[in-house]
Structure 1
């Protein structure tokens, strides 16, 4: 009678041991499942953020190329405008020189006229 009781006790202890082992494995499986789910969500979020960064990078590069093109165009336009301004400045300087020369000629002619009028006052009355 001792043997069946010992055998029953042995099976009971083995059953409890197996049940404990199964319980710990299920708990470990649940933990690993949660961790895998978290890693999957983390991966998807990271992939989405990376995609957004790549889109922003493409947009920034496009804007940079457009801005460089505009800067090149404006630089060429500025060069043309500087050349035009230099040309017009030289024309204005030449015109001012001509104006000064004409003013000097007029002043000389007026001076000569006054000198002649002072020398010949009687002749000026007839004209």
Structure 2
């Protein structure tokens, strides 16, 4: 009885072992595939990580460059602001000087206009006096009525070529 039980038991155990081996083989293959997938996933993750790190380094360099440019621009802005304040002060000074120069010019123009008006007035009075003197010169002098024709030639010239001679009145 030992063989009859031992042989089938050996066959059953062998079949069970073969079945177990096939199940284990499937599990092993699945585990290998999972390990390969995890390995590929890990390599891709490392590649992406390296890419992100290189991008981070590039951005860090760009940030440093931008910061240095920003500080340079800020310094330039400060310089321009100082120059603007200086120029504004100079413009204010210049405008003040222009205002005082305009005031002086207005004063001088006013004085000139008043001088010209006085000069024009005086000129007009001189012309009027000249005209009156011309009229007086053109008119026959009342002295000429008393100048005798026999008197000096200068006196007769002053009174004109025809001198009106008054005849002496006869005394009664």
Query: Does TM, scored on the shorter chain, surpass 0.5?
Result: yes
- How do 1:6-17 and structure 2 match up within 5 A? 6-17=5-16
How many residues are aligned here? 123
Match for residue 41 of structure 1? 40
In structure 2, runs of 5+ residues without a counterpart are: 125-172
Which ranges of structure 1 fall in alignment gaps of 5 or more residues?
none
Q: Which residue of 1 aligns with 2:72?
A: 73
Residue equivalent to 2:87: 88
Shift of 1:27: 1.2
Greater shift in the superposed pair: 38-47 or 113-122 = 113-122
Distance of 2:5 and 2:119 partners within structure 1: 164
The residue correspondences of 1:1-127 to structure 2 (distance < 5 A) are: 3-121=2-120, 122=122
Q: Note the aligned Cα RMSD (angstroms).
A: 1.7
SS in 2 for 1:109: helix
Per-residue CA deviation, residues 60-86 of structure 1 (Å, 9 max, x unaligned), is 110110000001000100111111111
- Deviation per CA, 1:28-49: give whole Å up to 9, x if none: 1111111111111111011111
Give me the TM-score of the superposition, normalised by structure 2.
0.66
The whole-number CA distance in structure 2 between the counterparts of 1:92 and 1:68 is 35
Q: Choose 60-69 or 106-115, whichever is displaced more.
A: 106-115
Shift of 1:101: 1.1
